Structure 1
Amino acid sequence: MSEITPDLVRHLGVLARIQLDEEEVTRLTGELDAIVDNIAKVGEVATSDVAATSHPIPLQNVFRPDEVGGMLSLDEVLQNAPDADGSRFRVTAILGEEQ
C-alpha cells in the first residue's frame, strides 16, 4: 500500500509554499513513494550489530602550525571600507538605536 498519496503531495506543497500543477503532483507522488519505500528497505537491513557510521573512512583534521605573519596597517585595513570614522569602520545601526 502506498504511503504517499496525491493529496499528501498537495498538502506538502502548500506547507512548502510550492505551487504544484497536476503533472507535478503525479510525478512527485511516484518519486516520493519510491523514496519512502527505499528508506523502509534500508531500515529493514539495518541491525543493532552493525555500527553506525557518519563516514566510510576515518577522518582526521590536518592542522598547520600557527605562524605570525605580516599585519596590515590601519590605512590598509580601512582603504576599502565603505565608510570609516578615523580608526574604525562606520556601520548602520541595526538595533534601531541612534548613537
Structure 2
Amino acid sequence: MRISVIGCGYLGTVHAACMSRLGHDVVAVDVDAAKIASLQQGVAPFFEPGLPDLLTEQLATGRLRFTTDTAEAAGSRVHFIAVGTPQKRGENAADMTYVD
C-alpha cells in the first residue's frame, strides 16, 4: 500500500522507516530541505537506536523516499500526520499551527 508520512521528526521518520520495512511504499514529507537531504543519505538528524541501519536498508529497497514536495503524497491511500501539536500556552488545547 502507498503511505505518506507528513513530518520527518522523531515520530514521522521512525514510522516511515518501519512502515517501509513492513513492505509498504512510503513517501515521507517535510518542509526542512536540509533534514530531507540528510535522511535521503540515510542519516537521521537525531539519535534512535538502529535507525541508521533501517534507513539505509529501506532506502536501498526503493520503498522509502524522503521529499519536500507535498504533491508526492497525493497518490497515497493512507496519510499519517506527524507534526508538532504543542499545548497552547494557558489553555487546555493543542496548537494546530503545524497541521494547518
Q: TM-score, normalised on structure 1?
A: 0.21
| Higher RCO (C-alpha under 8 Å, 6+ residues apart) | 2
The structure that has the greater radius of gyration is: 1
Q: More strand per residue: 1 or 2?
A: 2
Q: TM-score, normalised on structure 2?
A: 0.21
